[in-house]
Amino acid sequence: MELASKYDPQSVEAKWYEYWLNNKLFSSKPDGRKPYTVVIPPPNVTGVLHMGHMLNNTIQDILVRHARMEGKNACWVPGTDHASIATEAKVVNRLAQEGINKTDLSRDEFLKHAWKWTDEHGGIILKQLRKLGCSCDWDRTAFTMDEKRSRSVIKVFCDLYNKGLIYRGVRMVNWDPSAETALSDEEVVYKDEHSKLYNLKYYISPEEQSRVERKCDDNVIHKDDKGYYAVVATTRPETIMGDTAMCINPDDVKNTWLKGLHVIVPLVGRCIPVIEDTYVDIQFGTGCLKVTPAHDINDHALGLKHGLETIDIFNDNGTLSNAAGLYIGQDRMDVRKQIAIDLEAANLMEKIEDYDNKVGYSERTNVPIEPKLSTQWFLRMQHFADIALNPVLNDEIEFYPKKYKNTYRHWLENIKDWCISRQLWWGHRIPAYYFKDANGKP
């Protein structure tokens, strides 16, 4: 027998993998042996496997093969994930390349394209896992939207709802104006950006101009030929149409002259109160904060605390709504540019500064997210966090390296309720029916 001069993995691996499959060496059925089960973290059907998958599945394969060598009933369950927003974004992009707009399709028409994508890429992924030599029990191959999994999702949702762990409510969420859906915190990626800090003039209301007085030597009072005004610094001037208060820190000596007064929102003309709260950072900008309860999570908290009006100025697609009163129908980013020009033209801009900050982006569509009040479904997480954290605190579960124990603990001790609903066509649907009121609203 002549030996090859060099190893040819293609012929050798294919031969032996076929042998393993034909002899059902990866099959697993319940018997008297000690079970050892791994459920594959299912790859998303958004494309093909990458190096992270290679590493992850190699580690799983080592563990499963080692368990078989020890005589255990080793079961490695393979499968793929429908990856709702990620796959929908991919399908939308493909349709756009074909000159098709998602909004021109019905839901059923769009789903035909989504299933076509899934069939193509799901098959590629499973073939790649086989090429890697993964010793999965292929008879157990699952898909997160197949009939069995779909029934399980509905069952678990209903069980959690009946236990009071799932609820529907109006909350501040991360909104993706491109996909027009709510996102979880984990689907937001923060990027460092070179932005602008716009310093805007909020004039004291005409009726109160005569009441302005210096209350201490440290007061910083602004005045021009139009009268007295406060300066508010913001990176998002396009949101001023939703302002319902200005806030100062009661301990900020430079702004004590503003206590009890009202100011006028520039361009908008709305008269809003000056409120006081220790939340305001005295060191940021001038120490004056515009409060926009519908479009900032911290402003929303201030609004609830101080009983402020909430004005939602954005449509779901990121254009300005009728409630804005100005720039109606224009995209928020276009408005940011235009409103800066208009503020300067009206002499309502004190100055514009360069500013470095972090901006949240949708992980899948790569557009800046918009904090938005929205009616969504949420899962109460504290119950699950306690279950997951206690074994770690009691050293029943150990982390390697040990330093990640503190990271894990920080995550679970600061956990928030999880927004589980999405406004997408691809994916599991919330098993709920809505009754409409007399005005036709659910």
Q: What is the pLDDT of residue 440?
A: 73
pLDDT, mean of residues 8-33: 92
DSSP state of 11: H
pLDDT of residue 390: 95
Q: Are 91 and 119 in contact (CB under 8 A)?
A: no
CB 294 within 8 A of CB 222: no
Packing angle, helices 84-97 and 107-131, rounded to 10: 110
Evaluate if residue 134 carries a pLDDT over 80. yes
Give the CB-side neighbour count of residue 377, counting CA atoms within 13 A. 15
- Please give the residue that has the higher pLDDT: either 52 or 215: 52
28-37, 222-231, 330-339, 428-437, range with the lowest pLDDT = 428-437
pLDDT confidence of residue 442? 67
Given a cut of 70, is residue 1 above it in pLDDT? no
Separation between Cα atoms, residue 432 and residue 166, nearest integer Å: 12
Q: What tokens were used for 315?
A: 């449509």
Tens-place pLDDT, residues 295-306: 999 999 999 999
Judged on CB neighbours under 10 Å (0-12, 13-18, 19+), 334 is: middle
pLDDT at residue 2 in the model:
73
Instruction: Reduce the DSSP state of residue 145 to 3 states and report it.
Output: coil
The mean per-residue pLDDT over the stretch 39-52 comes to 92
Q: What average pLDDT score do residues 158-186 get?
A: 94
Contacts from 359-362 at CB under 8 Å and sequence distance 24+?
359/190, 359/191, 359/193, 359/195, 360/174, 360/188, 360/189, 360/190, 361/188, 361/189, 361/190, 361/191, 362/174, 362/176, 362/178, 362/179, 362/183, 362/187, 362/188, 362/189
Residue 379 has pLDDT above 90, yes or no: yes
Instruction: Go through the domains of the chain in sequence order and give each one's CATH number.
Output: 9-145 (3.40.50.620), 186-362 (3.90.740.10)
pLDDT, one tens digit per residue, over 263-295 is: 999 999 999 999 999 999 998 889 999 999 999
Q: Is the pLDDT of residue 115 over 80?
A: yes
